[in-house]
Amino acid sequence: MAKETTANKLIANNKKAYFDYFIDEKFEAGIVLHGTEVKSLRQGKCSIKESYIQILNGEVFVINMNITPYEKGNIFNKDPLRPKKLLLHKAQINKLAGQIAQKGFTLVPLQVYITKGKVKMEIGLARGKKLYDKRDTIAKKDQQREAAKDFKIRNL
């Protein structure tokens, strides 16, 4: 299970994942990176909006995760969109593979952060939302925004 990321440095967050999917379970995975990629991540240059996760040959990979090349990295920079391996326990990978085999489940990257000097990714086991579910989410957010606005006006 993923730990709380309150004391960790958040690098990238995937807000769209929470809008498009119901997140059933969260996992924390390490990422296999090269030196200049880590330096670029420490500067906060990462995007996971278009990325997705696949299980290939018993290994988990994040595809289309964009890490902007490090300016001072010259020849040591890697391809910014190369597939990056995620580090999970074998039992977790087998559990996720079984869940994904069920209809409607997928793996979604939720956030990338640094904890104790290590770059980690929080991934979620997710079910896709239907259009009416998304409308319901929008309506709830509007209600909360209105309630907060009314509360603020009353307490001035």
Say which DSSP state 102 is in: S
Q: In the numeric block, which tokens belong to residue 152?
A: 């603020």
- What pLDDT, on the 0 to 100 scale, is given for residue 6? 52
What are the extents of the domains in the chain? 9-130
- What pLDDT, on the 0 to 100 scale, is given for residue 5? 43
Say which DSSP state 144 is in: H
Which of left, alpha, beta for 107 (phi over 0: left; psi -120 to 50: alpha)?
beta
Mean pLDDT by 10 residues, the chain (156 residues): 64 85 89 85 86 90 87 73 89 89 86 89 86 83 87 80
- What pLDDT, on the 0 to 100 scale, is given for residue 110? 92
Q: Could you tell me the fold of the domain covering 9-130?
A: Small Protein B; Chain: A; (2.40.280)
- What pLDDT, on the 0 to 100 scale, is given for residue 134? 80
- CA-to-CA separations, 47 to 59, 60, 61, 133, in angstroms, rounded: 22, 18, 16, 26
- What pLDDT, on the 0 to 100 scale, is given for residue 34? 82
